[in-house]
């Protein structure tokens, strides 16, 4: 008999957890690491006090030599095979194709591979799966295109470790495959010429925590060493800045020192890059800030890199992930700056359309690729008509997309039991699989438990699924174990799909992802078995694993929150996955009379946010001082309305993290040479990003 999970009414869920600190332990840790006690508390809250002091010193100041280390990148024989084969292809001017995964990590890894290989003289192109039709991974359609262009070698980026059938197909048409990936291995390994994946190395090691882009970076470093070529500092910095985007976008752990130093150095390089494409992307993502911090990347650059892959439709004139790589590969100089500006104008249109589609939970179907990956120069000549086409496509899709969220609401009533279900499963029809992950994420946040959305599509017998999980539950492992049990029981694979190749229809593997997010495809006849087996696995899990809380690092008074406070926190940067930016508790505040709800034009009627002011009183001796701070609350407007009264004397507690916003000056984009002259008008103002509120407690 398992514990029943209850779902309280809205407003009764409280996920606040304030650690009770041992003052002596805090003092000792701060002394050992020579850091302020507030920072020691943050390390304790994150569980890092259980690590030895040497690890913690490396955590705070990771050694630079970790950047170029590739000792455990993959099994030694696999690395040797990979670099020897790539060097042979370069020296003999063989055509190489990089097959990237159509997300920010795959795009970053593809860019790293292409830029590094081209510097060494390789003849290399790149392509991506059609996400809405093909999903992820190595695709037979791309293999067919490569064969027709007499390509001899395919290198994957951020995919391939489970693409057993696709690799077999490539081998049958005479193409070697080198896989660069970081995902967990399956029961059967693909028969690739080389498998560059840290998961092949036994035991625990830092490389197993790398992103796909970081794996690509270290392969390039190894290749330069093998070919006895010097990796120029400027190129290394550029490649590292791109790899850091993949690490942060794919939410790789920032408790790992190797990731920390790669991200720290990479983001620093990003902020000073002379590569015009990367610089333009940084500038439109920075909200006018002079510097982007590591913790900003996942909410600024990452969504922009993901957008083309979600909605890419070359037949409709909407650029796909190839376009993103084209942009990132634009080099230095005034001519390239003009090219980058032309790209950015249209890139913003793609991002805007992606937001529209994502907010409405659907997107246009993606097309077959063109004969060749467009170069940046070719893309610029074609891009003029794309903006108009984007608008036309958007209008045609509005009638379809506006119904999706309403359908989900209706299906929740009939398909979800919020009291008993340990995993939320919703099945719909003709929802674009390129964006259902966004709605799955919303279900996870709404019910505070793992969620799965499955969509069936007209014209195919295969269902596509997307899963999102809460921090303490590894849904990738659970779904993978379902696949293994299914194969043991029925003698066939569960996660497969059928694709057309030049040799006819082929069934290929279709499952991948991480502990918190994964996707898959299976035959419609296996739906009941899949859902039943997943629910059975979830029933065996203890209720404590469904704990989903805000871990509060400290209690602070309003007068403590200043620029010195921010500078102190930055000593523990970078923040990100498994080392999130710290959350604080402020007690006994009041709210100002001016409250402004807001939201973008696609979500303001569903998940409104609010701007407001937080007012606190501080006693200094016999004097009492009142301090007012700007505040923003994302997704808490409804709770604010229910909880906060018109009596401005009522006091509240808030949990929050501190942000700074730019006041005055340009907001990013446009002529960046001109913007630099306006920076003197910018002022950084601290703002409280409020995560939750409650009536003050004594």
pLDDT in tens, 229-266: 999 999 999 999 999 999 999 889 999 999 999 999 99
> What is the pLDDT, as a whole number, of residue 440?
84
Domain boundaries, the chain: 70-398, 403-546, 549-695
For residue 574, cis peptide bond before it (omega within 30 degrees of 0): yes
Selection from 487, 538, 528, 491 nearest residue 511 by Cα: 487
pTM greater than 0.85: no
Q: Give the mean model confidence (pLDDT) for residues 546-562.
A: 90
Note the pLDDT tens digit of each residue in 625-662. Answer: 899 999 999 888 888 988 988 887 899 999 999 988 76
Residue 169 three-state SS: helix
The string of DSSP letters for 176-195 reads: EEEEE--SPP-SS----SEE
Q: In what order do the strands lie in the sheet with 95-100?
A: 123-127, 95-100, 153-157, 176-180, 194-196
357 and 300 Cβ atoms separated by less than 8 Å = no
Q: What angle do the packed helices 475-490 and 527-539 form, to 10 degrees?
A: 120
How does 316-337 read in b/e, with b if 16+ C-beta sit within 10 Å? bbbbbbbbbbbbbbbbeeeebb
| Domain 70-398, CATH | 3.90.1640.30
May I ask the CATH class of domain 549-695? mainly beta
67 and 259 Cβ atoms separated by less than 8 Å = no
Q: How far apart are CA 367 and CA 29, in angstroms?
A: 57
Q: How far apart are CA 281 and CA 343, in angstroms?
A: 10
Strand partners, 123: 95
Neighbouring CB atoms inside 10 A of 555's CB total 12
Q: How far apart are CA 279 and CA 662, in angstroms?
A: 19
Token digits of residue 390: 């984007």
Q: How far apart are CA 457 and CA 78, in angstroms?
A: 39
> How big is the chain by its Cα radius of gyration, in Å?
25
Selection from 216, 222, 285, 207 nearest residue 252 by Cα: 207
> What is the pLDDT, as a whole number, of residue 300?
83
The gap between the terminal CA atoms of the chain, to the nearest Å, is 39
CATH architecture of 403-546: Roll (3.10)
- Residue 120 banded pLDDT, cuts 50, 70, 90: very high
Q: Which residue has the tokens 């996400």?
A: 131
- Residue 368 banded pLDDT, cuts 50, 70, 90: very low
Q: Give the mean model confidence (pLDDT) for residues 316-335.
A: 82
Q: What angle do the packed helices 276-285 and 301-311 form, to 10 degrees?
A: 100
283 and 233 Cβ atoms separated by less than 8 Å = no
**Which uninterrupted H or E stretch holds 384?**
none
Q: How far apart are CA 261 and CA 257, in angstroms?
A: 6
Note the pLDDT tens digit of each residue in 170-224. Answer: 999 999 999 999 988 888 899 999 999 999 999 989 999 999 999 999 999 999 9
SS3 readout for 616-646:
EEEEECCEEEEEEEEEEECCCHHHHHHHCCC
pLDDT-wise least confident of 269-283, 329-343, 477-491: 329-343
């Amino acid at each position: 008999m398992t514990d029943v999970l209850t779902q309280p009414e809205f407003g009764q869920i409280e996920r606040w957890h304030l650690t009770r600190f041992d003052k002596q332990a805090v003092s000792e840790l701060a002394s050992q690491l020579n850091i302020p006690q507030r920072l020691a508390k943050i390390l304790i809250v994150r569980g890092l006090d259980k690590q030895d002091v040497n690890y913690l010193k490396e955590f705070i100041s990771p050694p630079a030599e970790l950047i170029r280390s590739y000792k455990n990148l993959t099994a030694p024989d696999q690395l040797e095979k990979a670099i020897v084969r790539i060097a042979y292809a370069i020296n003999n001017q063989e055509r190489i194709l990089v097959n990237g995964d159509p997300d920010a990590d795959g795009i970053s890894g593809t860019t790293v591979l292409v830029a590094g290989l081209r510097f060494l003289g390789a003849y290399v192109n790149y392509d991506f799966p059609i996400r809405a039709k093909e999903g992820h991974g190595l695709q037979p359609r791309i293999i067919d295109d490569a064969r027709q262009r007499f390509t001899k070698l395919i290198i994957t980026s951020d995919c391939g470790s489970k693409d057993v059938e696709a690799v077999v197909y490539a081998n049958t048409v005479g193409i070697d495959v080198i896989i660069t990936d970081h995902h967990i291995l399956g029961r059967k390994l693909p028969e690739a010429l080389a498998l560059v994946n840290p998961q092949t190395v036994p035991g625990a090691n830092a490389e197993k925590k790398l992103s796909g882009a970081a794996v690509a970076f270290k392969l390039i470093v190894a290749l330069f060493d093998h070919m006895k070529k010097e990796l120029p500092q400027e190129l290394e910095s550029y490649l590292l800045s791109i790899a850091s985007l993949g690490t942060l976008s794919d939410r790789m752990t920032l408790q790992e020192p190797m990731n920390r130093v790669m991200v720290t150095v990479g983001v620093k390089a990003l902020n000073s890059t002379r590569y015009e494409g990367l610089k333009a992307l940084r500038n439109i993502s920075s909200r006018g800030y002079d510097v982007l911090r590591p913790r900003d990347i996942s909410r600024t650059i990452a969504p922009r890199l993901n957008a083309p892959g979600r909605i890419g439709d070359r037949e409709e004139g909407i650029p796909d992930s190839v376009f993103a790589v084209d942009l990132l590969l634009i080099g230095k100089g005034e001519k390239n700056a003009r090219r980058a500006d032309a790209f950015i104008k249209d890139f913003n249109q793609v991002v805007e359309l992606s937001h529209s589609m994502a907010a409405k939970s659907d997107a246009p179907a993606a097309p077959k690729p063109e004969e060749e990956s467009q170069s940046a120069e070719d893309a610029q000549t074609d891009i003029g008509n794309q903006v108009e086409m984007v608008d036309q496509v958007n209008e045609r899709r509005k009638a379809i997309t506006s119904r999706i969220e309403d359908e989900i609401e209706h299906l929740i009533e009939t398909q979800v039991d919020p009291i008993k279900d340990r995993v939320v499963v919703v099945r719909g029809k003709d929802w674009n699989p390129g964006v259902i992950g966004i709605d799955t994420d919303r279900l996870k946040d709404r019910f505070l438990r793992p969620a799965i959305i499955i969509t069936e599509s007209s014209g195919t017998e295969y269902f596509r699924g997307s899963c999102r999980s809460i921090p303490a539950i590894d849904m990738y492992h659970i779904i993978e174990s379902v696949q293994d049990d299914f194969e043991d029981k029925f003698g066939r694979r569960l996660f497969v799909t059928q694709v057309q190749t030049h040799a006819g229809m082929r069934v290929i593997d279709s499952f991948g992802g991480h502990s918190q997010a994964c996707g898959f495809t299976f035959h419609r006849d296996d739906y009941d078995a899949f859902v039943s087996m997943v629910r059975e696995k979830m029933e065996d899990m203890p209720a404590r694993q469904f704990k989903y809380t805000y871990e509060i690092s400290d209690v602070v008074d309003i007068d403590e929150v200043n620029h010195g406070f921010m500078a102190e926190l930055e000593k523990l940067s970078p923040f990100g996955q498994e080392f999130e930016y710290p959350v604080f508790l402020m007690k006994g505040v009041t709210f100002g009379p001016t409250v402004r709800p807001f939201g973008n034009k696609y979500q303001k009627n569903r998940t409104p946010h609010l701007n407001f002011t937080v007012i606190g009183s501080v006693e200094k001796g016999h004097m009492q001082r009142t301090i007012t701070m700007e505040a923003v609350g994302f997704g808490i407007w409804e709770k604010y309305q229910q909880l906060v009264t018109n009596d401005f004397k009522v006091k509240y507690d808030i949990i929050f993290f501190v942000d700074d916003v730019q006041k005055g000056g340009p907001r990013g984009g446009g002529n960046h040479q001109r913007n630099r002259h306006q920076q003197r008008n910018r002022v950084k103002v601290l703002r409280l990003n409020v995560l939750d509120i409650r009536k003050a407690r004594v």
